[in-house]
Structure 1
Amino acid sequence: MTITQLHYVLAVAEHQNFTKAAQKVFVTQPTLSMQIQKLEDELDVLIFDRSKKPIELTETGKKIVQQARNIVNESDRIKDIVDQQKGFVGGLFRLGIIPTVMPTLLPMFLTNFIKKYPKVRLKIEELHTEAMIERLRDGHLDAGIAATPLELDNIREQPLYYEPFVGYIPPGHRLHSQEKLTVEELDLDDILLLEDGHCFKEGILNLCKSTRTADEDRFQLESGSFETMVKLANEGLGMTLLPYLHTLDVRENERGNLRMFKEPVPAREVSLIYNKSELKMQIVEALRNTISGVVKGAIAFQNVQIISPLSKK
Structure 2
Amino acid sequence: MTITQLKYVLAVAEQQNFTKAAEKTFVTQPTLSMQIQKLEDELDILIFDRSKKPIELTEIGRKIVSQARSIVNEADRMQDVVDQQKGFVGGEFKLGIIPTIMPTLLPMFLKTFTKRHPRVQLMIEELTTDEIITKINDGHLDAAIAATPLYQEKIKERVLYYEPFVGYIPQNHRLTSKNEIKTSDLEIEDILLLEDGHCFRDGVVNLCKSSKLNGDQSFQLQSGSFETLIKLSNEGLGMTLLPYLHTLDISEVQKKNLKHFSKPLPSREVSLIYSTSELRLQIINALYDTISGVVRGAIAFQDVEIISPKKQ
- Fold-level match, TM-score > 0.5? yes
Query: What corresponds to 2:140 in structure 1?
Result: 140
Shift of 1:78: 1.8
Query: What corresponds to 1:161 in structure 2?
Result: 161
Contact 1:95/1:123 (<8 A) preserved: yes
Query: What corresponds to 2:149 in structure 1?
Result: 149
Q: Which amino acid aligns with 1:193?
A: L
Q: Which amino acid aligns with 1:292?
A: S
Query: What corresponds to 2:280 in structure 1?
Result: 280
Shift of 1:214: 5.2
Query: What corresponds to 1:190 in structure 2?
Result: 190
Shift of 1:76: 2.1
Query: What corresponds to 2:77 in structure 1?
Result: 77
Query: What corresponds to 2:111 in structure 1?
Result: 111
Contact 1:142/1:279 (<8 A) preserved: no
Contact 1:144/1:273 (<8 A) preserved: yes
Shift of 1:4: 1.1
User: Does the alignment pair 1:290 with 2:284?
Assistant: no
User: Does the alignment pair 1:18 with 2:25?
Assistant: no
SS at match of 1:151: coil
* Structure 1, 232-241 or 18-27: larger mean CA deviation: 18-27
Query: How far apart, CA to CA, are the structure 2 residues paired with 1:216 and 1:243?
Result: 25
SS at match of 1:70: helix
Query: How far apart, CA to CA, are the structure 2 residues paired with 1:146 and 1:122?
Result: 17
Query: How far apart, CA to CA, are the structure 2 residues paired with 1:116 and 1:213?
Result: 45
Q: Deviations over 1:179-227 (max 9, x none)?
A: 1111001011110000000000000011111xx6654541221111000
Over 3 Å counting, the alpha-carbon distance change for 1:65 and 1:215 in structure 2 is: closer
Fraction of identical pairs, as percent: 69
Query: What corresponds to 1:179 in structure 2?
Result: 179
Long gaps (5+) in structure 1: none
Query: How far apart, CA to CA, are the structure 2 residues paired with 1:294 and 1:276?
Result: 25
Shift of 1:22: 1.2
SS at match of 2:250: coil
Over 3 Å counting, the alpha-carbon distance change for 1:38 and 1:101 in structure 2 is: same
Q: Deviations over 1:89-132 (max 9, x none)?
A: 11111111000000000000001111111111111110010011
Query: What corresponds to 2:63 in structure 1?
Result: 63
SS at match of 2:274: strand
Query: What corresponds to 1:227 in structure 2?
Result: 227
Shift of 1:71: 0.9
Shift of 1:170: 0.6
Contact 1:188/1:214 (<8 A) preserved: no
Q: Which amino acid aligns with 2:62?
A: K
Shift of 1:77: 2.5
Query: What corresponds to 1:270 in structure 2?
Result: 270
Q: Which amino acid aligns with 2:44?
A: D
Query: How far apart, CA to CA, are the structure 1 residues paired with 2:211 and 2:9?
Result: 49
Long gaps (5+) in structure 2: none
Query: How far apart, CA to CA, are the structure 2 residues paired with 1:229 and 1:216?
Result: 21
Query: How far apart, CA to CA, are the structure 1 residues paired with 2:240 and 2:263?
Result: 19
Query: What corresponds to 1:302 in structure 2?
Result: 302
Over 3 Å counting, the alpha-carbon distance change for 1:216 and 1:296 in structure 2 is: farther
Contact 1:91/1:119 (<8 A) preserved: yes
Query: How far apart, CA to CA, are the structure 2 residues paired with 1:216 and 1:160?
Result: 34
Equivalenced residues, count: 310
Q: Which amino acid aligns with 2:99?
A: P
Over 3 Å counting, the alpha-carbon distance change for 1:213 and 1:48 in structure 2 is: closer
Query: What corresponds to 2:54 in structure 1?
Result: 54
Query: How far apart, CA to CA, are the structure 1 residues paired with 2:19 and 2:145?
Result: 33
* Structure 1, 296-305 or 216-225: larger mean CA deviation: 216-225
Using the size of structure 2 for normalisation, the TM-score is 0.97
Query: What corresponds to 2:128 in structure 1?
Result: 128
Shift of 1:75: 1.4
SS at match of 1:180: coil
Using the size of structure 1 for normalisation, the TM-score is 0.97
* Structure 1, 62-71 or 74-83: larger mean CA deviation: 74-83
* Structure 1, 235-244 or 19-28: larger mean CA deviation: 19-28
SS at match of 1:181: coil
Query: How far apart, CA to CA, are the structure 1 residues paired with 2:203 and 2:140?
Result: 27
